[in-house]
Amino acid sequence: MPADFDKQSYWGERFASETNFEWLTSSATFMSIVDPCLTNLDDSARILQLGFGTSDLQNHIRARGFQNITNVDFEPRAIDRGRMLEKQVFGDVRMSYLVADATQLQLGETYDLIIDKSTVDAISCGGEESVLRMAEGVRRHLTDGGFWVSLSYASGRFDVENLPFDVEVFAKIPTPKLKSTDPDIYHWCYLLTPKAL
């Protein structure tokens, strides 16, 4: 039976014992891939990370010099762990951590950049409607000129009817092979820009 990645109960149980897990690629590798997207952002840019879980991506974003970072997860254990990890690395906690469901975003703020590192894959376990709800919420929370960067294992992750974004494959990342005869498998980094309303 497949895991219920779209259920909060799954993540609560998992985060009770998991201390660190990086989906699809390390945070350092992900940052090197998205760096061209970050170069035009001011240090004061508002950045939202969706579904940070037990990743350390937020610390890499802060270390890059960004000062206004909000991290959202719908499992409260992730919030505590994120704060603890930030304090271990920087000696203080400056980022915001919020409990929220990425398919029902109501944060009252807008952001210049929204990032998810395979969160959309977990949400897709709830069906295409869940992906569309996530996309609509992301769209509502982007500033004019803002954009969404999403890392996914699926080449057609955003082939969703009525998606409020133009979608570009920003990077195609080969996965490691155990043997040279293994097939080529990729992860996909998407750049999503809002369609005109």
The pLDDT assigned to 126 comes to 82
Residue 39's Cα: distance from chain center in Å?
18
Q: What is the mean pLDDT of residues 132-138?
A: 95
In angstroms, the Cα distances linking 33 to 90, 156, 179, 191 are: 24, 19, 25, 12
Domain-wise residue ranges, the chain: 8-97+105-194
Distance CA 53, CA 170 (A): 24
What's the length of the chain?
A: 197
Annotation: CATH topology of 8-97+105-194: Rossmann fold (3.40.50)
Confidence grade of residue 175 (pLDDT, cut at 50, 70, 90): confident
The pLDDT assigned to 18 comes to 54
Distance CA 12, CA 25 (A): 22
Q: What is the mean pLDDT of residues 79-85?
A: 91
The pLDDT assigned to 47 comes to 98
In angstroms, the Cα distances linking 188 to 23, 110, 173 are: 12, 25, 6
Q: What is the mean pLDDT of residues 112-127?
A: 90
The pLDDT assigned to 1 comes to 42
pLDDT of residue 182 exceeding 50, the answer is yes
Give the whole-number percent of the chain exceeding pLDDT 90.
58
The pLDDT assigned to 4 comes to 59
Q: What is the mean pLDDT of residues 64-73?
A: 96
Q: What is the mean pLDDT of residues 2-27?
A: 59
Nearest to 110 by CA among 140, 79, 154, 131: 140
Whole-number average pLDDT of the chain: 87
